[in-house]
Structure 1
């Protein structure tokens, strides 16, 4: 459910995607009172019969499905729970290899699957509007083999994120499928979850078997396997300092490299400074104290 505030007034919108026996996906959208009516009743993976909806062309600003049409529910529309039908798939994925993420444009919606090789604790960040929000970072490795960081935002931060953290720290090898994750840029390409993103842990599909079989062939060591891959966010190579000097001497664009070297000196008089301890509007000033 998404709430909005426009000059015409406040409102809310609720959307969900369905798939039929021909593997065709389409979005169902409702507003305000109709959205409130259906929001608490729609269950992920359940089968429904929908009557009385209005078919309209897809608005690509909000709907990234391949369908050219979407259905809008009205006051007279009916959404009824139906019996299970084995001809209708529970989910449909269009997985992309992680090594293709680097070439994708920001805000592109993508389906990926990989082995979870790192799960960070949840943390709180402050947005520009001064509100606080929870997030959690995980890392996936696929058959490419490449790795990529995934940022889990509310609501997946706590429920699915906590479940993944418990499974990971209990040394359970977890395959995670992400449907409709958004490609973003945060020091490289990253996949972020949206309200419409769904996470599937160890889904019963062929890709899960392939990933775990590949892992077993590599000795079953998730951590050591991940360090031998190339991270998608950076795509950088190891260089000597001499190589870097020669390559970047006439370059006007920043270039990133990996360097393995011994630290000879640390300049300690400028890595920190005393900050102002006063609070302004409930926040510490943090300006340099002189």
Structure 2
């Protein structure tokens, strides 16, 4: 099999949510280890600038783009600029995501709408904006949509996030079939299902204004403990991009834990069992 360097070197990548966390890790790895020219998109201008400077100071090629992925026109503008200024796109990673803690009935409407806008609409906007350019180009391209181990589990007190990752996984599975039906064999579509990866997603997650605030904050603290066992964004990035180069559809960062979750999910559906308490099965493999 070809190495990720052989597959991606010299190409252009667009990565959303690239200011911090796994997005920043993917950007650094793509630019510095694979020699790609990377467009980093994020709504956090300060974080974006820091990551771009880190990359360029180490000799990589990085361009910042302040973009709200929940805004369809903004993402379309990014796609059109990249096509005009950078030419064929080799790698698109729809990665931007946010978290939410608390009972579903306590979740503020604004937090729900923000999460859906970023986690689900952001992926759709990326696909809708970039796919026409990818379909029109003869060069091979890869589209990676960021799901999570949460996409194959049910998890209390993180319902909006888990729901969104199930949506991203099913969206990507359907997109894979649509690309094949359209005869676009030069486009590889993959779903990325990371386990725990170090990031600030738990720090910046929404909580609840009323209702059971103790439960919401307790879940946040539990996720902080999970983060202590997380792999680094750079380690996750190397694994993700090598599996993409290998042609994998379901890309996993920690096979032991993620594949176990996938197996348990399949067995639950086959047996028509109701969801079991999450921590009895996934204590060490909680969502990203």
- TM superposition score normalised by structure 1: 0.24
**Quick check: which has more Rg, 1 or 2?**
1
Bigger fraction of residues in strand: 1
Q: Tell me: higher relative CO, structure 1 or 2? Use CA pairs within 8 A at least 6 residues apart.
A: 2
